[in-house]
Structure 1
Amino acid sequence: MAGARNLLILILLLMLHAHCPQGAKILTICLVGGSHYLLMDDVSRILQDNGHEVRMFRQIGDGTLPGYKMPSTPYPVSTYSLDEKTLKEFDKFFTEYQKEFFMGKAGFQFFINLMNVFANQCRISMNQTDILDFLKKEQYDIAIIDAFNPCTFFISEKLGIPYISIFSGNIGNAIAVGLPSPPSYVPTFASQLTDRMNFMERLKNTLMYIGSYIAENSVQAIFNDIAERHFPADSRPSLSDLYHKAELWIYNVDFSIEFARPLLPHILCIGGLRAKPANPVSQDLEDYIAESAESGFIMVTLGSMLSSIPRMDLVKEINSAFAKIPQKVIWRYKASDWPEGLEVAPNVRLLDWVAQNDLLGHPKIRLLVTHGGMNSMMEAVYHGVPVLGIPLFGDQFNNLIRVKAKRMGEYIPATEIMAENFADAIRNIVGNKSYKTSVMKQSVILRSHPFPPDKQLLGWVEHIIQSGGGGHLRPYSYQQPWYQQFLLDVILFLSACVAAIIYLILRVMRGLIHFIFSNRKQKQN
């Protein structure tokens, strides 16, 4: 009996070992600062804390986390810094475009220019031979890359490591990934449409869907010389090839905010990695919030990269709007950049950095005023906090369209903000309980998943490592030429068959008519 019991215990231990693989060697690659780094840091920590050996390859020096105190990491980091000239050029580029953001002028051209900046930085990254040689010798099992910067794909390919792509926003690159996106109900990126479109909206969406292929080709062409310089001609990858080669695509979004749409087996929506139960805020801040009594407070933050507003007139309007409301206001704004001669509203406190997730989890919060970045959206949904958005660039417009469509809040373009209408918008959202009800409903959807986001991330990464890659999840369409994917050869064949049948029918009818009329003439004669 004892022998049988020991055998059973041995079998159970073997089964447990089979399902709990030994720690893998994982490289995370992050070449963008701001919220992109914060997300990749969370990903790295989750994997490191669960028994894997993680190292991050990171570009530093872009200055896109002003006011943030970088904590120590439980994993090692291999870093390199851009040269002084490149840093100055990037700083000038971003400073100039900040003004464009608040003027409503940062459209597709900004994205093209940003990709050109990334391509220039990529040439520097690919020349970090000492670091790349070191990383290659480490023989990592897999890389987890921030897919927003295309350079991460070339680095992974150069190192010869299979990779999982993490996209920090919504599914805005569906065309590049080859994800089915029927324009009848899936809004094209930047269309600012919902999934419920009338005829004219579907027409607009279809035209933008066609145009997005041209736009994507323009973006990918920017990185062509990277492949030409660093890969031999017989194995030179295109960016499109590298997108399709990803073992998984993980998007930092959830269907509590995203519209329902078709996915492929290797496309995962794991939103809310940064959203978590709140920690207590500092005593000083707690005392300030307590002064608000039942009115509560609102939090204002326009993203990790923007610590101030470059338009003084807009700062005045927003500040004046805050003076008109009863709530306390915690505003992430660099005090040294505050306009001279402008007195901060008496109910406003400026902070260089805010613990956003912790404040969103505070019982007295009433509203989040935000740029609409996906990390902020997911944290707001997680904690059930209504939103007033000021979209500036990128996916922020799309995100806030979804917020409004699901009655979780409203948004106002920066160009339309005046003190009175901004104050009215705040009063409307805070005073109308339907917004709070709606966002709480979405919070239940997000929180009630069978597995929390960190467990989903961990489980899928381990599945890919154990199964030797995600080839079983990727569709065969990735290997088909475009004319086969769109069935143009089948359509052409069927069209030819129909044309041939119509031609034969017409010839037969013509012959019959000729025969009938010939017989009539013979009888008459």
Structure 2
Amino acid sequence: MGELRLPLNAICVSPRTNGLVVLSVMVVMFSYCAHGANLLFFSGYGEGSHYLASTAIAEEMCQKGHSATVMVSSPFRYRIAEPHQCLLDKDFKLFKVNKSLDDMVATIREVMRHGYEGTFNQYVLKNGRKLSENVKGDCERIFLDDDLTQSLKSLKIDAVVYDSIFSCGALIAQYLGARVIALSPTMIAPHQARLHGIPTNPSYHPEVFSGLASRMTFSERLWNCLCHFGSYWFQLYTFQNPYDELKLKFNIRPDVSTHDLLASADLWLFASDFAFDFAFPMMPNAVAVGGLCTKPAKPLSQDLEDFVQSSGPHGVIVFSLGTYVTNSIPLEFFRLVTEALTRLPQKVVMQYPGQPPDFLVKLRDQIRTMPWIPQNDLLGHEKTVALVYQGGNNGLHEAVYHGIPLVILPAMADQHDIAVRAKDRGVGESLEIQTLVASELETVIRTVITNTSYTENMKRISAIFHDRPERPVQRAAYWIEHVIKYGGDYMRTSGSYGHLNVFQAYLIDVLVFILVVACTIALSFRYFTKVSLRFLLALSKSRSNKAKEQ
């Protein structure tokens, strides 16, 4: 798929050939529009919100007449059998890893457990390089699989949409000679923005995982500044540099570093929306597409609908910590949560994978537990009054879409950042999951439900979110089509693609130069002043001595 170019003399023609030219142009344009692009979607292994966000775009591109191929790892092959709107079984490509589904789930649960215990950041700092090496090993297996690589080459891929957490996707795109489109399924991280040439300022743009708001005290700005530069170097060392070896081994752009290769992406899509997120400067190569999975609510099953309707005027609370978090925390935590929920007049729909404990079974008339809940459909129900959840990005935008206030129990990663934004925007409150007390949880939920300002603020944000000419997934599809035709070079600043390092981007080199020049001038002035004073003193002394002799 290339850019459509017409020679200038095709417009200035004689009347006799005008009809033929117009017909030819129409044929060319019809042919260009009729043949869709070939896209490859790589979201890592194929699990969680990362996969859902990527697949939402794949479905949209498929419905627009493009060919969308989705890569998933062999342990998650069940994704192929899931119902899809447009994608077919043949649209999936499996890549092999040396882990079973149980092994991968166990790793995810271990990470979640550290989140619940409040040691997530320490765990990542300690084990980040090891985890990255494991992911890099799985990436290498993709390029060693000749059948898979030949199959991908035969598709003549025009663009690869890859999850920015998994650098392997950018290598795949370069290997196939395709456009590179990065998709960040979380709120924008300043260190990622810097990678793509977008100006960031630690004085008001909080770093991801920092749990800070945009208005900061001096100590918070100092901490955010340290987080900002620390995150940049940690990402460089842990998640980028290890891939330099793979690039050389498979001859994938050996002339540039992995950092520069990632920075060369034609487009950067990030799952955030300024109706909720803090505002910051943008560049045209970055597009906000928060809410990729949002959609209108569908009717509930009759049994669930009857339960929701039985809540009467008090309404329903939706409680969900996600499958992996729920399976990674002790039973006593749910006993505590149940104690708080039973003190409220609302009924509760709770996600609880597996067999619920006896104390929840006995409360079935007030708390309905389900292994999987239709969260979007529940949030769109008129009886729903609040969402109590862990602070995930998809759940956030579903709540924004339907205008439901939040009570957030953040455990890890960007969940604390979402909690801070919810509180700052006046659409929810948060409590630390590690130190949760039943009475405090009850009070906060009751406050969010009874204080109408939370709902009003969320309804306003929801109205802003909906007041757009297209849905987020349609916005993503438009810009993908655009860069397939025209590329993204013209949208990048000189601060991207490795043209500027950190010292150049923040003018540290210029400031050091100015400081050196200023110090040189000051020292020179001091030196000449000192010499001049000595000369004047010597001259004065000499004249005084001559006067005495006379």
> Does TM-score exceed 0.5, indicating one fold?
yes
Kept in 1, the 8 Å contact 2:198–2:495? The answer is no
CA shift in 2, pair 1:95/1:519, >3 Å: closer
CA distance in 2, matches of 1:416, 1:291: 33
Partner secondary structure for residue 61 of structure 1: helix
1:470 aligns with 2:470: no
CA distance in 1, matches of 2:174, 2:320: 37
Kept in 2, the 8 Å contact 1:35–1:304? The answer is no
- Which residues in structure 2 correspond to 1:140-155 (within 5 Å)? 140-155=157-172
Aligned to 1:79: 93
Aligned to 1:39: 53
User: Amino acid of the residue matched to residue 54 of structure 1?
Assistant: A
Aligned to 1:396: 415
- Which residues in structure 2 correspond to 1:265-414 (within 5 Å)? 265-303=284-322, 305-306=324-325, 308=327, 310-336=329-355, 338-339=356-357, 343-345=361-363, 346-414=365-433
User: Amino acid of the residue matched to residue 37 of structure 1?
Assistant: Y
Aligned to 1:505: 525
- Which residues in structure 2 correspond to 1:83-232 (within 5 Å)? 85-110=99-124, 112=128, 114-172=131-189, 173-220=192-239, 223-224=242-243, 227=246, 230-232=249-251
Any gaps of 5 or more consecutive residues in structure 2?
A: 1-15, 546-550
Partner secondary structure for residue 162 of structure 2: strand
CA distance in 2, matches of 1:461, 1:506: 61
Q: Deviations over 1:15-36 (max 9, x none)?
A: 9859957411111122231111
2:510 is matched with which residue: 490, 495, 507? 490
CA shift in 2, pair 1:17/1:497, >3 Å: farther
Any gaps of 5 or more consecutive residues in structure 1?
A: none
User: Amino acid of the residue matched to residue 138 of structure 1?
Assistant: L
Q: Deviations over 1:445-471 (max 9, x none)?
A: 11112332133112211111111x100
CA distance in 2, matches of 1:451, 1:505: 64
Partner secondary structure for residue 90 of structure 1: helix
CA distance in 2, matches of 1:108, 1:7: 70
Partner secondary structure for residue 53 of structure 2: helix
Q: Which moved more, 1:225-234 or 1:320-329?
A: 225-234
Q: Which moved more, 1:261-270 or 1:490-499?
A: 490-499
* CA apart distance, 1:325: 1.2
CA shift in 2, pair 1:64/1:374, >3 Å: farther
Q: Deviations over 1:238-270 (max 9, x none)?
A: 331222011111001101121011222211111
Aligned to 2:11: none
CA shift in 2, pair 1:295/1:340, >3 Å: closer
User: Amino acid of the residue matched to residue 490 of structure 1?
Assistant: V
Q: Which moved more, 1:411-420 or 1:301-310?
A: 301-310
Kept in 2, the 8 Å contact 1:104–1:413? The answer is no
User: Amino acid of the residue matched to residue 137 of structure 1?
Assistant: S
CA shift in 2, pair 1:215/1:24, >3 Å: same
Q: Which moved more, 1:246-255 or 1:195-204?
A: 195-204
2:534 is matched with which residue: 500, 503, 514? 514
User: Amino acid of the residue matched to residue 180 of structure 1?
Assistant: P
Aligned to 1:50: 64
Q: Which moved more, 1:237-246 or 1:396-405?
A: 237-246
User: Amino acid of the residue matched to residue 83 of structure 2?
Assistant: P
CA distance in 2, matches of 1:332, 1:503: 70
- Which residues in structure 2 correspond to 1:413-452 (within 5 Å)? 413-452=432-471
Kept in 1, the 8 Å contact 2:43–2:54? The answer is yes
Kept in 1, the 8 Å contact 2:111–2:120? The answer is yes
CA shift in 2, pair 1:348/1:181, >3 Å: same
Percent identity of equivalent pairs? 28
Partner secondary structure for residue 405 of structure 1: helix
CA distance in 2, matches of 1:461, 1:122: 24
* CA apart distance, 1:237: 4.8
Partner secondary structure for residue 282 of structure 2: coil
CA shift in 2, pair 1:344/1:490, >3 Å: same
Q: Deviations over 1:392-439 (max 9, x none)?
A: 221111111111111110111211222222122211111110100111
CA shift in 2, pair 1:302/1:490, >3 Å: same
Partner secondary structure for residue 143 of structure 1: strand
Kept in 2, the 8 Å contact 1:60–1:79? The answer is no
Q: TM (normalized to structure 1)?
A: 0.90
Q: Deviations over 1:90-113 (max 9, x none)?
A: 233223333322222222423715
Kept in 1, the 8 Å contact 2:388–2:408? The answer is yes
User: Amino acid of the residue matched to residue 421 of structure 1?
Assistant: E
Kept in 2, the 8 Å contact 1:29–1:146? The answer is yes
Partner secondary structure for residue 235 of structure 1: coil
Q: Deviations over 1:246-295 (max 9, x none)?
A: 11110011011210112222111111121122122222211111101111
CA distance in 2, matches of 1:355, 1:70: 15
CA distance in 1, matches of 2:24, 2:272: 40
Aligned to 2:73: 59
Partner secondary structure for residue 164 of structure 1: strand
CA shift in 2, pair 1:262/1:64, >3 Å: farther
CA distance in 2, matches of 1:36, 1:510: 68
CA distance in 1, matches of 2:120, 2:372: 25
Q: Which moved more, 1:502-511 or 1:432-441?
A: 502-511
Kept in 2, the 8 Å contact 1:386–1:409? The answer is yes
Q: Deviations over 1:297-323 (max 9, x none)?
A: 111122354454531110111122221
CA distance in 2, matches of 1:12, 1:55: 31
User: Amino acid of the residue matched to residue 174 of structure 2?
Assistant: E
Aligned to 1:26: 39
CA shift in 2, pair 1:175/1:63, >3 Å: farther
User: Amino acid of the residue matched to residue 326 of structure 1?
Assistant: P
CA shift in 2, pair 1:247/1:421, >3 Å: same
CA distance in 2, matches of 1:94, 1:63: 17
* CA apart distance, 1:497: 2.7
Kept in 1, the 8 Å contact 2:197–2:492? The answer is no
Kept in 1, the 8 Å contact 2:160–2:169? The answer is no
User: Amino acid of the residue matched to residue 176 of structure 2?
Assistant: L
Aligned to 2:265: 246
CA distance in 1, matches of 2:108, 2:205: 31
CA shift in 2, pair 1:233/1:414, >3 Å: closer
Partner secondary structure for residue 477 of structure 1: coil
CA shift in 2, pair 1:14/1:129, >3 Å: closer
Kept in 2, the 8 Å contact 1:58–1:77? The answer is no
CA distance in 2, matches of 1:365, 1:233: 51
Partner secondary structure for residue 223 of structure 1: helix
User: Amino acid of the residue matched to residue 110 of structure 1?
Assistant: V
CA shift in 2, pair 1:344/1:217, >3 Å: farther
Kept in 2, the 8 Å contact 1:250–1:269? The answer is yes
